[in-house]
Amino acid sequence: MATTITMPQLGETVTEGTVAQWLKKPGDSIEKYEAFVEVSTDKVNAEVPAPVTGTLREVLVKEGETVATGTPIAIIDEVGAATQSNAHGTEPTQQVADAAAAPPKPSNGSTAHAAPAPQATHAAPARPAELDIAGLEAALRVASPAVRKLAREHRIDIRALQGSGANGRVTAQDVLTAAQMGPAAAVGQAIAVGTNFGATGAPAMPPTQAKPPAGGTSTYGEPLPGTTIPLNQARRIIAQRMVESKHTAPHAWSMVEVDVTNLWKWRQREKDKFDHETGGLKLTMLPFFIRAVVESLGVFPLMNARFTDEGIYVNKDVNVGIAIGLATNLVVPVVKHADQLSIKGLAVASAQLIDKARRNKLGVDDLAGGTFTVNNNGSNGSIASAPIINGGQAGIVTMEAMVKRPVVTADDAIAIRSIMNVCLSLDHRVVDGYVASGFLADLKRRLEAMGPTGIL
């Protein structure tokens, strides 16, 4: 029996999706629940698992093509069902009857005659995916889609790598390091760690297949001069949203310096205890910052508003988006009802969202409903930035790098203090400078009041 796969609806408001990448090609065998295509929408990227075990007969939508939800995108012949279906003269489902009218071509020397299902499975020369299904499934678990794509571009067998990430996950840096070592070295590493290369005992990706990475990138993953990097769906959407925001909302900007010396001491005092209580979560400065932000939003509700044709709508809920930059993408998952969470609760919620983002596991609900956004540019050493406002919000605030500086104290003494700049971009249609400066002053006061005597 032929199973038609349709474009999934990844959220209530999502009406279309784009085939970002086919992880399988026609003729490849697919295990039930194995990811075989990556789909992207304006909300999220997701890998689509196969509902049945079988063979990918036909791809109906090309990579980069956008279609409405419910549109057929592929046909899978279930194991043992395709031959039986042909023998009895049954047709694929009417939904894809026209697309599937032509019989599939015999692959790699197989004949057009029907054969029992077990024999059909071995009719074609085995491909790596067929040699070691368990290895592929393991690869799906230990690396994100972006990392697996990077590995394919560099002709690296991801199963051959020892991951340096959490729980042994393979990171982009692991792939780039293997690429710098060269294919032969990557194979040697695989042998050293006892990777199963398949029934033949030969490497699934032998050194002879090595070639320069595609897509205009160097061995180190950086763009090569004079090349054009194709736009993926996520980058197109990011570009569209950034332009819309800048053209629609008149941006204004302001900044304050914040003395976070006592806050830093508090974080240092609590981090080991927090790590123990939460099973290994890291206590960063972010949840302290979010807590101060939501308290200031309560005092200045216009900062938690949005501009509409009917007027300025002040949001009932305080849902804080966290801007997260990934290797090839930018996402803003949302901590719902952030004003109702303690610092510890914010730490757990934000850590979970960041982890899901890095593993490409964010759902549509994780990205919906934001009313204000925070961004941590300081992790990369930035000391000042002017971020673009997330559409439908009144502002975005960034925490910059914490630096030690000599400061004149209230009693005119010189002291070394930990100083952090806090930058605010605001929609001037909603908020005027007076309100924005008041918001920043309140935020500064709250951050500087946090110290070792506080309670998480």
Kindly report the CATH class assigned to 235-449: alpha beta
Task: Choose the weakest-confidence range: 27-31, 137-141, 396-400.
Answer: 137-141
Helix ranges (H only) for 249-379 are 261-277, 286-299, 343-358, 364-367
Give me the residue spans of the domains in the chain.
1-125, 139-225, 235-449
For the whole model, what pTM was predicted? 0.61
pLDDT, residue 57, reads 93
Instruction: Give pairs for 51-54: CB < 8 Å, separation 24+.
Output: 51/3, 51/5, 51/76, 52/3, 52/76, 52/78, 52/79, 53/78, 53/79, 54/3, 54/29, 54/30, 54/78, 54/79, 54/81, 54/82
Alpha carbon 220 to its chain centroid, in Å, reads: 21
Report the catalytic residues: 428, 432
Q: Which residue has the tokens 């003395």?
A: 259
pLDDT, residue 166, reads 57
φ, ψ for residue 126 (rounded to 5)? -70, 135
Output the CATH code of domain 1-125: 2.40.50.100
Q: For residue 144, what pLDDT band results from cuts at 50, 70 and 90?
A: low
Q: Which residue has the tokens 């005027």?
A: 432
- Token pair listed for 20: 């970002």
- Token pair listed for 370: 């934001």
- The residues that bridge with 255 in the sheet, in sequence order, are 423
pLDDT tens digits, residue range 58-105? 999 999 888 998 999 999 999 865 444 444 444 444 333 333 333 444
Residue 425, helix vs strand vs coil = strand
Selecting from 3.20.20.70, 4.10.320.10, 2.30.30.90, 2.40.110.10, what CATH number does the domain 139-225 have? 4.10.320.10
pLDDT, residue 311, reads 97
Q: What is the mean pLDDT of the chain?
A: 78
The counts of H helices and E strands in the chain are: 13, 17
Asked whether the predicted pLDDT for residue 152 surpasses 90, the reply is no
Nearest to 322 by CA among 387, 278, 244: 387
372 Cβ contact partners less than 8 Å away, ≥ 6 residues apart:
293, 297, 303, 304, 318, 319, 320, 321, 393, 394, 395, 396, 397
**Distance between CA atoms of residues 324 and 329, nearest Å:** 9
Residue 416, helix vs strand vs coil = strand
Gyration radius of the chain's alpha carbons? 26
pLDDT tens digits, residue range 263-300? 999 999 999 999 989 888 899 999 999 999 999 999 99
